[in-house]
Structure 1
Amino acid sequence: MGRWSQYDEDEERLPEGMQRIGYDADTQTYTFRDADGTIWESAPGNRYGQLHRANATIPPYGDDTHDATDPLHSTSNKPSTSWRHEMMPLLNWFLLVGLFLLFVFWVIGGTTFTKRVDPVTCKEDSSPYKIKSGDSCWAIAEGHHIPLESLLHENHGLDCDKLAVGGTICIPRV
């Protein structure tokens, strides 16, 4: 909790002729009156800071020169701002974050971690077979009625755990 100083009072913080006349606990706004009698309100939750005009000029209490209308409950001629107008300051921030994320995904997606496969040339006693999705070494060997050891012997360095879809292997003829 901060310490109190002589600059924490309204006389030090408010412009000359401005005085605080009320507080609404529901909206957490402070109400002020300037020397001309114009009513000003603070932003919700702020005691000081930027003020906005609440309504037309009304004389201070005790002055009997005001008219019979109630300016505190009258509607303002000022048009209300839309939520789009209020969110405009965040547009640049969201735009920058979005562009940064697009760049990151582009860099990640543009780099490939797959190893290039050299074209396979099969011997005369074997035929090429193009690997399809879902193929395994055992399924290929069973489908061509050859032992798995023959398939592995014909394709030196074949890693059955990493069969590349679209790649080619050699199937020995029986």
Structure 2
Amino acid sequence: MSRWSQYDTDEERLPEGMQRIGYDADTQTYTFRDAEGTIWESAPGNRYGQLHPVNTTYAPYGDEEARDATEPLHSPSKGPYTSWRHEMMPLLNWFLLVGLFLIFIFWFIGGTTKKIEPVNCGEHSSPYKIKSGDTCWAIAEGHHLPLDSLMNENQGLDCDKLPVGGTVCIPRV
């Protein structure tokens, strides 16, 4: 007795209107479409047997004209439809939390700048407000002073970190 039977084709084994449309060799599952366009999959390794529906509904080939033009593609009668936006909603919450965390970090880093305290110059010197790009040497040259007299008048001045908007005292000659 041979292993092949007379009922070995899709027409004899599948319900009426059911058609095999694909096979995935990696998962060993067969894909079928019924007369309404619903997609069904077999259990891995089984060509026939129990089928389970897949959540996507497609119009059968050739039925595009039969569909009413006023009917939406995914109406409630065809089952639930989820858009990609709905599927990505959990990622929105994650990106929102990451964004808020980054805003907090940048606020914290930017808020730790030193406050510039006003400098009181004596009666033998005049105040000069530091601009962007100023250096101790440029300030001394601009006022026709030696750099040593500028440094003596402003004890503790760090020429490598001049605060923009800060004040230095320029000695009068």
TM-score by length of 1: 0.60
Q: Which residue in the other structure is 1:85 paired with?
A: 83
Residue of structure 2 aligned with 1:23, choices 21, 24, 30: 21
Q: Are the equivalent residues in 2 in contact too, given 1:126–1:171 (CA < 8 A)?
A: yes
1 or 2, which has the higher helix percentage?
A: 1
Partner of 1:122: 121
Which sections of structure 2, spanning at least 5 residues, go unmatched?
1-13, 24-28, 45-50, 75-81
Give the deviation of 1:142 after TM superposition: 0.2
SS of the counterpart of 1:73?
coil
The answer on whether the counterparts of 1:22 and 1:30 sit within 8 Å (CA) in structure 2 is yes
* Cα distance per residue 1:59-107 (max 9 Å; x no partner): xxxxxxxxxxxx64212646336xx933222134224313431332234
CA distance in 2, matches of 1:49, 1:133: 71
Q: Name which of 35, 39, 45 aligns with 1:41.
A: 39
Q: Secondary structure at the match of 2:160?
A: helix
Distance, in Å, in 1 between the alignment partners of 2:52 and 2:123 is 88
Write the distance in 1 (CA, Å) between the matches of 2:87 and 2:136: 59
- After TM superposition, the structure 1 = structure 2 runs for residues 139-158 of structure 1, keeping only pairs within 5 Å, are 139-158=138-157
TM-score, normalising length from structure 2?
Answer: 0.61
Q: Structure 1: which amino acid aligns with 2:32?
A: T
Change (3 A) 1:54 1:114: closer
Amino acid of the structure 1 residue aligned with 2:98: F
Q: Which stretch has the larger CA shift, 144-153 or 101-110?
A: 101-110
1:32 CA displacement = 4.2
Conserved 8 A contact 1:23-1:30: yes
Which residue of structure 2 aligns with residue 103 of structure 1? 101
Show the counterpart of 2:6: none
Deviations 1:4-47 (A, max 9, x none): xxxxxxxxxxxxx869741347xx982144xxx6553148xx97
Per-residue displacement from partner, 1:100-156 (whole Å, max 9, x unpaired)? 313322342244232233221111111111101111111100000000111111111
- Identify which range, 122-131 or 106-115, moves more after superposition: 106-115
Aligned partners of 1:49 and 1:147: how far apart in 2? 90
Asked if residue 159 in structure 1 is aligned to residue 158 in structure 2, the reply is: yes
Gaps of 5+ in 1: 1-16, 56-70
1:32–1:131 Cα change, 3 Å:
same
AA at the equivalent of 1:96: W
